[in-house]
Amino acid sequence: MPDPRPDRGLIKPRNMLNERDHKQLKEKGISSETLLEQIEWFKQGFPPLRLDRPATAGDGIRQLEPGQLKKMASFYDDQSSQLRVEKFVPASGAASRMFKELFQWRELLMAGVETEALLSSSGSAREFFERLHEFAFWDELVLAMDKDDLDARHLLDNRNYLPLLDYLLFESGLEYAFLPKALIAFHRYSRELRTAMEEHLVEGAYYACDQKGNVLIHFTLSPEHIGRFRARLESVQEQYQKRFMVQFTIRHSVQKPSTDTIAVGPDNLPFREKDGSLLFRPGGHGALIENLNELEGDLIFIKNIDNVVPDRLKEQTILYKKVLGGLLLGLQQEVYRWLQRLDQGALPVEDYVRAVDFAVEELCIDSTVFPADPQPGSQVLRSRLDRPLRVCGMVKNQGEPGGGPFWVRDPETGASSLQIVELSQIDMDNALQSGLVEKATHFNPVDIVCSIRNYRGEVFDLNQFIDPQTGFISHKSKDGQELKALERPGLWNGAMAGWNTVFVEVPLITFNPVKTINDLLREEHR
């Protein structure tokens, strides 16, 4: 990828940073040059992407026939048992966003708002309290309150909701407000509760198991959650191993301090804490490209922690995971074959044409990047094929928030490539660009399988394929003061902009995220 970073000469470190700042930077593993580049991004802003058109069925998104599904899933089963398959599950965030409305209701009740008034003004509050006993965590909540001689059922029947909220959210009870989503009880079965983390274990047993029965799963976690995560895992791992006759190898990593980004004030100068130290903020999920970059799997599945379903709905999820994996492995074999041929020199004309046709038709690479002459064209072909490869499931747009699949035009070359794009990357004030968004038919559920090894078996340096111009600036506040925060190119957005990308339509049933607590009341989570 080109390196269009801002001019490093605009600000000198000595004009902005003191000795204490340099020590803080060293402790975090961030260079002063990196900090200054980030400040230049604040000044210049990130350019919006130039959408060419939405990716649609037949134009960037594949639709597979039933026969193809069976064939690709079978191919995956045959090939994957010999490979190191790994699940990569971003699970760093706390579940606090799930409970945002619960905190609001609690504040209203504490302020003396009548229960009936709350239920009348908020349909989500009415649904939550009327169906509280249906949540998977209800029995745990009852037990937690029983220990303090509180009758949860009686309180619920009498609409005394404040104690119920306190025991659900805080340390007196389940402490859900302070747990990661991985440790929230999502589903209730006849004899057990399963957290989101456990549902990923079960999924992994079905499609990420090698011929020796090993299942590799990697979770990204926040440091404060590691202890509880490991404790829960240790309490359940053996029973799942016995049930599915597998051996789990569960690893975790944290977002690196070196991927944090500087915050600035309205004047674009570093925002300082009350003690004078620099304020850094997490760089968003794009920072996890560093975690992904340290994996060594032959095949890696990426899926968010909250997108899981109970066993009765897992069949389609497992099928399409194998389909995406089978499709990738088939494409990978063809890519490796052509790269091995290119090791021998420029391709003959007929072979060059066939290879370019494969790149254009199967990998959706813009035909305009390939010269007609095989002599220079073979080098271009090599550079375009020798990249990480990802196959991404896309679901039909049902009004869910999130990024979507688009053809994006490169401002320098004019060539288009398939990208997953967030609304924040688009100039929605541009009528032409916003019109293309309106025409989009699919969105991104984060259902990705990828290959991060080249044809020689070496792991790619994934940092070489990031588009640094695809970051995002947001406006926040701290201690009553305005600040601006910078997010790195998103993990499946700009962080993978230079990958070879294939989009496949998958059914909506494979996408069931839990963004708010009431999402767990959906039929798909019952």
Q: Which of 348, 469, 347 is CA-nearest to residue 410?
A: 469
Look at residues 162, 178, 194 and tell me which one is the last residue of a structural domain.
Answer: 178
In terms of DSSP H, where are the helices of 111-225? 115-121, 123-130, 138-146, 152-157, 161-169, 196-207
Residues making up the chain, counted from first to last: 526
Q: Is the CB of residue 369 less than 8 Å from the CB of residue 380?
A: yes
Same domain, yes or no: 354 and 474: yes
Q: Is residue 170 part of a domain?
A: yes
Same domain, yes or no: 376 and 388: yes
Q: Is the CB of residue 411 less than 8 Å from the CB of residue 48?
A: no
Query: What local confidence, expressed as pLDDT, does residue 38 receive?
Result: 95
Listed as own residue / partner, the contacts of 478-481 with beta carbons closer than 8 Å and 24 or more positions apart are: 478/263, 478/271, 478/279, 479/274, 481/265, 481/271
Domain count, the chain: 2
Same domain, yes or no: 165 and 302: no
SS3 458: coil
Same domain, yes or no: 280 and 157: no
Q: What's the CA angle centered on 302, arms 298 and 305, to 5 degrees?
A: 140
Query: What local confidence, expressed as pLDDT, does residue 430 receive?
Result: 96
Q: How far apart are CA 7 and CA 135, in angstroms?
A: 54
Look at residues 124, 144, 178 and tell me which one is the last residue of a structural domain.
Answer: 178
- Full DSSP string of 314-327: HHHHHHHHHHHHHH
Distance of CA 519 to CAs 219, 260, 306, 523, Å? 23, 31, 10, 9
Query: What local confidence, expressed as pLDDT, does residue 526 receive?
Result: 87
Same domain, yes or no: 107 and 88: no
Same domain, yes or no: 298 and 434: yes
Q: Tell me the pTM.
A: 0.92
Same domain, yes or no: 152 and 288: no
Query: What local confidence, expressed as pLDDT, does residue 479 receive?
Result: 87
Query: What local confidence, expressed as pLDDT, does residue 211 receive?
Result: 87
Q: How far apart are CA 224 and CA 170, in angstroms?
A: 16
Query: What local confidence, expressed as pLDDT, does residue 401 receive?
Result: 60
Same domain, yes or no: 152 and 48: no
Q: Is residue 147 part of a domain?
A: yes
Query: What local confidence, expressed as pLDDT, does residue 5 receive?
Result: 42
Same domain, yes or no: 340 and 440: yes
Q: Is residue 31 part of a domain?
A: no
Q: Is residue 424 part of a domain?
A: yes
Q: How far apart are CA 323 and CA 73, in angstroms?
A: 5
Q: Which of 329, 333, 339, 450 is CA-nearest to residue 385?
A: 339
Q: Is residue 6 part of a domain?
A: no
**φ and ψ of 372, to 5 deg:** -70, -30
Look at residues 178, 206, 234 and tell me which one is the last residue of a structural domain.
Answer: 178
- The domain of 119 spans 97-178
Per-residue pLDDT of the chain (526 residues; tens, 9 = 90+): 444 444 433 344 446 789 999 999 999 999 999 999 999 999 999 999 999 999 999 999 999 999 999 999 999 999 998 899 999 999 987 778 899 999 999 999 999 999 999 999 999 999 999 999 999 999 999 999 999 999 999 999 999 999 999 999 999 999 999 999 999 999 999 889 999 999 999 999 999 998 899 999 999 999 999 999 999 999 999 999 999 999 999 999 999 999 999 999 999 999 999 999 999 999 999 999 999 999 989 999 999 999 999 999 999 999 999 999 999 999 999 999 999 999 999 999 999 999 999 999 999 999 999 999 999 999 999 999 999 999 999 999 877 666 799 999 998 899 999 999 999 899 999 999 999 999 999 999 999 999 999 999 999 999 999 999 999 999 998 888 999 999 999 999 999 999 999 999 999 999 999 999 999 999 999 8
**φ and ψ of 216, to 5 deg:** -105, 125
Q: Is the CB of residue 107 less than 8 Å from the CB of residue 160?
A: no
